[in-house]
């Protein structure tokens, strides 16, 4: 079977996968089986397939990864000349079509090529968290405008809880108003990276720490005993999830009155948060993609499952389409689109890179 990435892409975009990926995964498995591959679906819902080089060596091991789920709502397929619109057009069914082109079409002489497609990148990444592939390099498909993205900020989310003492609003001095402590705590959040956070990263720049939700109070005539501030952290290396939690809580403690207490806890989730990563610009996988025709090496603008793989081996993010263009958001937007010619070109670039790395 000759794989047609554009036909696959159109069919994939037409399949809703924002609530349930079953139909999309079945289509992917059928496509792989029709092409002579032997795919399997693991207990975490990942679709996996492997090719071995003609020489039978198991090294090097290269993994091609992306995801089949999308954000809501589903946006119907629309094809207009070179432009394909619809949910998942660039995030990430365009990259998926390109990676499939390489997986099915590359001529590999040695080593192992693994295709690992995850089911829930847009939510908790339970599929990616369950993978243990022991690879030498990873190419993660996301919309990068055909650039090679070698780094990305991480994303942590948690809640700062301030606890005071409830009282009647007519006798405020008999309690400790947790809402009144919000102002200094917000100042402390603002100053965190000036005094405690990691230094500016060479390619990712400064980390960010933003309060996004404030909740407090139970009744309009009661001094509130608690107030909660949700914060969004976009981290840079070498900051870790554990290190940030400990340092933020210690920093904020010094900004509240003695009559109150403060704690910070991460939002509950099934999997670890996506931590920041940075791959050296001279890594073999970067070189192979650049020599195959990919664009500049630069950071990626969003957190991805690449974070789960970067501790294992050099990892890059690459694919057709863009997160945003001159008019605004593209990925996750109602106007999501990708150019068909870019999907084809991405497939050619990854194919050449695979052949270079596994020759």
Mind listing the pLDDT tens digit for each residue in 293-315?
999 999 998 889 999 999 999 99
pLDDT (0 to 100) of residue 53: 87
Domain assignments of the chain as residue spans, ordered by start: 5-152+276-357, 154-266
Q: How far apart are the first and last CA of the chain?
A: 23
Whether the per-residue pLDDT at 1 is higher than 70: the answer is no
In the chain, the DSSP E strands lie at 40-41, 47-52, 61-67, 78-80, 83-85, 112-118, 137-141, 148-152, 154-163, 167-168, 208-216, 222-223, 226-235, 261-266, 277-278, 297-300, 315-318, 324-325, 328-329, 337-339
Q: Which segments of the chain does DSSP mark as H helices, in order?
A: 5-14, 22-34, 93-105, 126-130, 182-195, 241-253, 284-291, 306-310, 340-357
Average pLDDT value for residue range 138-153:
97
**Distance, CA of 329 to CA of 336 (rounded, Å):** 8
Mind listing the pLDDT tens digit for each residue in 154-185?
999 999 999 999 999 999 999 999 999 999 99
Question: pTM (2 decimals)?
Answer: 0.90
The hierarchical CATH code for the domain 154-266 is 3.30.70.360
Superfamily of domain 5-152+276-357: Zn peptidases (3.40.630.10)
Mind listing the pLDDT tens digit for each residue in 71-124?
999 999 999 999 999 999 999 999 999 999 999 999 999 999 999 999 999 999
Mind listing the pLDDT tens digit for each residue in 319-337?
999 999 999 999 999 999 9
Mind listing the pLDDT tens digit for each residue in 126-142?
999 999 999 999 999 99
Residue 49 has which token pair?
């397939």
């Amino acid at each position: 079977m000759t794989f047609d990435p554009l036909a696959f892409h159109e069919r994939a975009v037409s399949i809703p996968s924002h609530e349930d990926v079953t139909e999309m995964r079945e289509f992917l498995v059928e496509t792989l089986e029709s092409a002579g591959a032997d795919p399997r679906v693991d207990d975490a819902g990942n679709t996996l397939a492997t090719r071995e080089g003609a020489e039978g060596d198991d090294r090097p091991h290269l993994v091609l990864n992306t995801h089949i789920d999308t954000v809501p709502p589903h946006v119907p397929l629309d094809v207009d000349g070179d432009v394909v619109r619809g949910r998942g057009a660039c995030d990430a069914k365009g990259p998926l079509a390109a990676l499939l082109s390489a997986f099915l079409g590359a001529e590999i002489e040695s080593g192992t090529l693994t295709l690992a497609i995850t089911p829930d990148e847009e939510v908790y990444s339970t599929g990616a968290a369950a993978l243990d592939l022991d690879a030498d390099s990873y190419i993660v498909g996301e919309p990068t405008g055909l650039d090679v993205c070698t780094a990305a900020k991480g994303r942590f989310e948690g809640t700062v809880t301030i606890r005071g003492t409830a009282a009647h609003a007519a006798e405020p001095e008999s309690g400790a108003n947790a809402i009144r402590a919000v102002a200094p705590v917000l100042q402390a959040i603002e100053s965190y990276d000036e005094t405690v956070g990691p230094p500016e990263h060479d390619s990712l720049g400064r980390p960010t720490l933003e309060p996004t939700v404030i909740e407090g109070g139970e009744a309009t005539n009661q001094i509130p005993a608690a107030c909660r501030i949700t914060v969004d952290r976009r981290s840079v290396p070498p900051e870790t999830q554990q290190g940030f939690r400990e340092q933020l809580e210690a920093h904020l403690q010094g900004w509240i009155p003695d009559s109150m207490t403060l704690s910070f806890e991460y939002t509950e989730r099934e999997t670890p948060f996506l931590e920041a990563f940075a791959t050296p610009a001279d890594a073999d996988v970067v070189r192979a993609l650049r020599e195959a025709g990919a664009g500049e090496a630069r950071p990626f603008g969003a957190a991805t499952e690449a974070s789960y793989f970067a501790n294992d081996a050099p990892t890059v993010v690459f694919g057709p389409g863009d997160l945003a263009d001159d008019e605004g958001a593209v990925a996750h937007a109602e106007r999501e689109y990708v150019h068909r010619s870019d999907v084809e070109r991405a497939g050619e670039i990854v194919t050449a890179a695979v052949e270079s790395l596994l020759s």
